[in-house]
Amino acid sequence: MSNIPLIDGPRLRPLSGSPAKNLVILLHGYGADGDDLIGLAQYWQSDFPDTAFVAPNAPEPCELSPFGRQWFSLERYDPDLQRRDPAAGAEVFASMIEGAQKAQRVVDQFIAKETEAHSLSLSETILVGFSQGTMVSLYTGLREQVAPAGILGYSGALVGDSKLNEELNCRPPICLIHGEEDEIVPFPALARATKMLTDLNIDVTAHSCPGLGHGIDERGLKIGQSFVKEVFSNI
């Protein structure tokens, strides 16, 4: 029997009432849960009536919150270190690799179960993440044998980039969105991820949101919606 934790969370079936033609998996941030991110699906759902949405709860209780969940520990994470010394960013995110690997196994199992339930493949599935969920979406999605239809990441970072060149298995289109005033995952993480992905010939678009902290604003919602629409139109 596998010792990989089974996860689940809130979901929305296709508005059309028909079997899903594609799937969006939303991975929440540190200290939140699936209920926090399923709101994105509610915002987008009317434009994607044949899409199923699911926002699984991360497998671990959050070490810093009695109610939230975490994909992996951030107990030693210090965003101020990156602001004081931007060059330290690589070291900060490198320290998360072990946690990201563990989360990858959980998410891979969930993806397999969910796509099978809908008779879909990963190539018909978009991974959407916020903050730590973006880290997990990028880490997992880029190492799949079959490329996801796309990866959409809000307020996140690229974890494990030092090994990505040798571990990269696919090149899905990627859209990254980040607030310029992010106090949790500093804004330079966007440029760092974009450069690394571009250097690996991955189709990535990056969008900055002036005045936005660690969150998703109306502009980011619309950019994400357009990305999802474009990706699904190309399947």
Which pLDDT belongs to residue 218?
A: 95
Q: What is the mean pLDDT of each run of 10 residues along the chain (235 residues)?
A: 86 96 98 95 94 98 89 76 60 79 97 97 98 98 97 95 90 98 93 95 97 97 97 92
Catalytic-labelled residue, pool 28, 118, 178, 214: 214
Q: Is 214 a catalytic residue?
A: yes
CA distance linking residue 230 with residue 222, whole number of Å: 12
Q: Is 18 a catalytic residue?
A: no
pTM above 0.85, yes or no: yes
Any idea what the Cα angle at residue 51 is, between residues 57 and 35, rounded to 5°?
A: 25
Catalytic-labelled residue, pool 28, 118, 131, 161: 131
* CATH code of the region 11-233: 3.40.50.1820
Asked if 137 and 160 touch (Cβ cutoff 8 Å), the reply is: no
